[in-house]
Amino acid sequence: MALMQLLGRTKNFTKRSKKYLEEALYKSLFKEGSSKISVRRQLNQFFKCSKRIFKWEVDETLKKLHDRKLYYPALKVHVSSIRSKLGVYQGFFNVTFLC
């Protein structure tokens, strides 16, 4: 019991409803490779569809994109998560504008 609490809850992809993406966003982004063009193409394809993703998926996607130095797609995911009021990882792209 204590071991399960340390490891956390497991994510089951088989019981997803139809309004959610079939697989995790970070898996579908790197399906065709990790080049900038293929990641952007997959990300634009995701934004065009009306599927939802879980908050933890956005967090994992941002981490993986940032680790692979794909900053522009990570910024697009971050801005869209703020627009949809998920608000994950707000310290990741801390931008201040000076007048």
**Annotated domain spans of the chain:** 22-83
Cβ atoms within 10 Å of 73's Cβ, excluding its own: 20
Q: What is the DSSP letter of 23?
A: S
**Per-residue pLDDT tens over the stretch 68-92:** 999 999 888 888 888 777 655 444 4
pLDDT at residue 13 in the model: 57
Sign of CA dihedral 25, 86, 68, 97: positive
Instruction: Kindly list the distances between the CA atom of residue 45 and the CA atoms of 28, 41, 42, 51, 53, in Å, as whole numbers in the listed order.
Output: 10, 6, 5, 11, 14
pTM for this prediction = 0.68
Rounded Cα gap, residues 73 and 44, in angstroms = 9
Q: How far is CA 22 from the centre of its chain?
A: 14
The answer to whether 88 and 59 are in contact (CB under 8 A) is: yes
Q: Tell me which residues of the chain have a pLDDT lower than 70.
A: 1-16, 86-99
Q: Quote the pLDDT of residue 68.
A: 92
